[in-house]
Amino acid sequence: MSDKSSIKRVLYKVEQLVERGIDKRVRIAVTGLSGAGKTAFITSLMNQLLHIADNDQLPFLRAAKEGRILATKVSSYDELHIPEFKYKQSLDAIFDKKPTWPVSTTGISQAQLDIRYTIKNEWLKKLQKQSQLTVDIIDYPGEWLLDLPLLRLSFKDWSMQCHELLEQSELDSSWREQAVELIYQQPLQDDKIAQVSTEYKDFIRQNFSQQHTYNLLQPGRFILPGELAGAPVLDFFPVLDIDILNSDWSTLSSDSLIRILEKRFNYYKKQIIEPFFKEYFEKVDRQILLVDCLEVLNNGYQNYRNMQFTLSELLKSFHYGHSNWIKRMFSPSIDKLLIAATKADHVPPEQHRELELFLQKMLQGSRNDIQYEGIELETLAISAIKVTEAVMAEHQAQKLMCVKGVELSSGDEVINYPGKIAPHSLSKELWQEQQYDFVDFAIPGNLTSSILPHIRMDKVLQFLIGDKFR
């Protein structure tokens, strides 16, 4: 890198620090597991703001209702090594003659919006009438988010966790039998390690992606390797032999299988996860966690427990706390967290509150720990892109509020009653009595406006950035 480029990069970093200190830049972490709807959410968020001048769908975004948000534009990062978020391609897919959902994320991308607004504060208005807020958003594969809890685990801790989860799953597999038979105290050739590791990756893909056991899909790069495909850093696997797990490893030689696996696990944490976290999450000001509760409800009690465990562990990976101008510049922490149940349009409107309560109960422990830090925390049922309409229809000889839309799998228009969401925690026995049938809906071909229809995206924007328009 040339001296000129180095100086330019340093100046850009200084400019970012100053903007953060004077509260003119906010970095939002859009977090959620694969399938939670991050790409659709970011597309909708950008769409609502880029059409702010003629957008009457944002009554709860106070600065917009007051007519103080003048315009928004997409701006470019100086950090050219990060690809741009594919906003136009996402919109093209949505408004195509045969509309489709935006393609899921397979790598890192970025979006940066500059929002011009009229200042409200009477004292500040004497100095300048208008100001600008820069909003930074990073998109990334949900699979990679699963890696963050690994930063708190040693290789032995992770292996023990995998052992316990596999025991609970009661799955028989040739891979497990092979792993137990390995002699961990002795060396093993690299090609054999790679072979066993490949079989482990195949094992978790086949058995757990289908069963939604998110906490076993670690490391996330095992599922979606990206540029690391074929690299030795991904050639490791957990130790499942309980006797080995309970033994002292300190006397084992550095070329023993167990120490090689431990070394690669630690290398993965140090060289892959830590840089990922520091570059994209360490300087976050606000966070939204997207959760597909409907998938949880459709797939039963064990799926509920898996999601609960995974999200609770995930939330422990972020820094929460009060913010001020010094902390924003040098030690930022998340001072607002929005936990959102996505696909609210797949649920009759009268059950949106129950959906929010279900999510609150699922993450009650995590919410309590985070609120102890004194930050603002909100739970909402949202739909980034609304694709259904509420209709009254007959279901099992009763008139009930249902949802109507185009079923994704068949392409047919259907009216669906998904079942009654319980707003409280359910035991395993009571869960089995519930019968849910949430349908995946497609984007209809009759969207006439360039502004995407939504549910509560205005409340989302007000919570995440509304206080910045002073």
Range of the domain at 417: 389-433
Residue 303 placed within a domain: yes
Residue 443 placed within a domain: no
| Separation CA 409–CA 412 (nearest Å) | 8
User: Which pLDDT score is estimated for 21?
Assistant: 43
Q: What is the dihedral of CA 28, 32, 35, 38, to 10 degrees?
A: 0
Let me know whether 452 and 422 are in one domain.
no
Let me know whether 316 and 393 are in one domain.
no
User: Which pLDDT score is estimated for 327?
Assistant: 44
| Separation CA 291–CA 308 (nearest Å) | 10
- pLDDT for residue 214 is more than 80: no
* Mean model confidence pLDDT for the chain: 86
Token pair listed for 228: 């690391």
- pLDDT for residue 388 is more than 70: yes
209-214 long-range CB contacts below 8 Å, 24 or more apart?
A: 211/169, 211/302, 211/303, 212/295, 212/296, 212/299, 212/303, 212/306, 212/307, 213/165, 213/169, 213/306, 214/33, 214/146, 214/306, 214/307, 214/310
User: What is the arrangement of strands in the sheet containing 25-32, beginning at the earlier edge strand?
Assistant: 69-74, 109-118, 130-139, 25-32, 286-291, 336-341, 376-381
Structure confidence by residue, pLDDT tens digits, 256-292: 999 999 999 999 999 999 998 888 888 889 999 999 9
Are 31 and 288 a contacting pair, CB within 8 Å? yes
Residue 328: count other Cβ atoms within 10 Å of its Cβ: 22
- Residue scoring higher pLDDT (144 or 345): 345
| Separation CA 303–CA 214 (nearest Å) | 9
Let me know whether 226 and 360 are in one domain.
no
| Separation CA 439–CA 343 (nearest Å) | 10
Radius of gyration of the chain (CA): 24
Q: Once rounded to an integer, what is the mean pLDDT over residues 159-179?
A: 77
User: 3-state secondary structure string, 147-213?
Assistant: CHHHHHCCHHHHHHHHHHHHHHHCCCCHHHHHHHHCCCCCCCCHHHHHHHHHHHHHHHHHHHCCCCC
Let me know whether 75 and 182 are in one domain.
no
Structure confidence by residue, pLDDT tens digits, 403-424: 999 999 999 999 999 999 987 7
User: Which pLDDT score is estimated for 375?
Assistant: 87
Judged by DSSP in three states, 62 sits in helix
Phi, psi values for residue 185, rounded to 5°: -80, -10
Let me know whether 34 and 92 are in one domain.
yes
Confidence of residue 106 (pLDDT cuts 50, 70, 90): confident
For residue 45, what is the domain's CATH number?
A: 3.40.50.300
Let me know whether 102 and 172 are in one domain.
no
Residue 90 placed within a domain: yes
- pLDDT for residue 11 is more than 70: no
Let me know whether 268 and 345 are in one domain.
no
Token pair listed for 265: 């696990």
CA distances from 8 to 5, 26, 78 (A): 5, 21, 9
Is the preceding omega at residue 219 within 30 degrees of 0, hence cis?
yes
| Separation CA 173–CA 161 (nearest Å) | 18
Let me know whether 460 and 423 are in one domain.
no
CA distances from 117 to 89, 295, 461 (A): 28, 39, 15
Residue 438 placed within a domain: no
Helix (H) or strand (E) holding 125: helix 122-125
Confidence of residue 170 (pLDDT cuts 50, 70, 90): low
Let me know whether 463 and 428 are in one domain.
no
User: Which pLDDT score is estimated for 326?
Assistant: 40
Judged by DSSP in three states, 88 sits in helix
Let me know whether 27 and 139 are in one domain.
yes
Q: Which of 54-63, 101-110, 300-309 has the highest mean pLDDT?
A: 54-63
Let me know whether 285 and 398 are in one domain.
no
Of the candidates 230, 252, 276, which is a domain's last residue? 276
Let me know whether 84 and 108 are in one domain.
yes
Residue 247 placed within a domain: yes
Judged by DSSP in three states, 401 sits in strand
Q: Once rounded to an integer, what is the mean pLDDT over residues 151-178?
A: 82
Q: How many domains does the chain have?
A: 3
Residue 7 placed within a domain: yes
Residue 425 placed within a domain: yes
Q: Once rounded to an integer, what is the mean pLDDT over residues 107-130?
A: 86
Are 329 and 21 a contacting pair, CB within 8 Å? yes
pTM of the model as a whole: 0.88
Residue 440 placed within a domain: no
User: Which pLDDT score is estimated for 19?
Assistant: 45
Are 190 and 232 a contacting pair, CB within 8 Å? yes
